[in-house]
């Protein structure tokens, strides 16, 4: 099975048919898709000016989408390397118990569903790399009261998510499932309370 870099070369190869180049980009998302496969695809298409359903897209726009994905992957791989180094030092120092951030990171290892979006067509507006930098900064800064991507405090707890995590706080502004470790207990409680109030207000 081809890896991410081999697939990226296929996307850039002008000797390949445009259909193969498009398929190779879609396969890249099987190796790295921070918002989930469908949501990441829609995000890349929107920023590159591609029609998600176009089977013969402009090669220049296709490469622009790949470039954004590669930029984000570089940010994530650097974070994973620093994470691995930190855990190695902690284990050497006798710190064996993983933290909440460690548990979250274990489930996102490899770069899929790092910050999944509830809807594949509603994703944060900034570039993927910028979103990942904000999430990583929030992880390193400790729990806060707002979404690490858009800084909005309107979070609502969802218990019916389609994949990991199966439940969690969702930002009403940018649509991401906010990683639980970046939020304070008060922010999590407010998200659960808001979901409860909205549920009974609709009755």
- Residue ranges with strand state E in 58-103: none
Q: Give the residue from 115, 128, 129 showing the smallest Cα distance to 181.
A: 115
Residue 164 confidence (pLDDT)? 76
Tell which wins on pLDDT, 153 or 110.
Answer: 153
Residue 121: phi and psi, rounded to 5, are: -105, 5
Residue 50 has pLDDT above 50, yes or no: yes
What the block records as the tokens of 155 is: 């979070």
Tell me if 113 sits within 8 A of 31, measured CB to CB: no
What is the signed CA dihedral for 135, 100, 172, 74, rounded to 10 degrees? 20
Residue 45 confidence (pLDDT)? 96
For residue 125, name the pLDDT band (cuts at 50, 70, 90). very high
Q: How much of the chain exceeds pLDDT 70, in percent?
A: 94
Residue 203 confidence (pLDDT)? 45
Radius of gyration from C-alpha coordinates of the chain = 18
Three-point CA angle 137, 192, 122, nearest 5°: 60
Residue 200 confidence (pLDDT)? 57
The Cα diameter of the chain in Å comes to 59
């Amino acid at each position: 099975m081809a890896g991410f870099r081999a697939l990226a070369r296929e996307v850039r190869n002008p000797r390949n048919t445009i259909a193969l180049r498009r398929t190779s980009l879609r396969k890249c998302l099987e190796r790295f898709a921070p918002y989930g496969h469908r949501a990441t695809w829609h995000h890349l298409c929107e920023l590159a000016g591609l029609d998600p359903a176009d089977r013969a897209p402009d090669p220049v726009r296709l490469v622009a989408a790949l470039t954004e994905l590669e930029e984000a992957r570089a940010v994530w791989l650097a974070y994973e390397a620093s994470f691995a180094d930190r855990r190695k030092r902690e284990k050497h120092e006798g710190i064996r118990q993983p933290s909440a951030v460690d548990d979250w990171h274990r489930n996102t290892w490899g770069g899929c569903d790092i910050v999944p979006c509830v809807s594949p067509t509603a994703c944060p507006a900034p570039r993927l790399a910028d979103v990942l930098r904000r999430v990583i900064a929030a992880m390193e800064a400790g729990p806060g009261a707002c979404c690490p991507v858009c800084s909005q405090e309107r979070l609502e707890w969802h218990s019916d998510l389609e994949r990991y995590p199966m439940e969690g706080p969702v930002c009403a502004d940018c649509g991401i499932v906010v990683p639980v470790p970046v939020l304070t207990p008060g922010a999590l409680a407010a998200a659960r309370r808001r979901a409860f109030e909205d549920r009974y207000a609709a009755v």
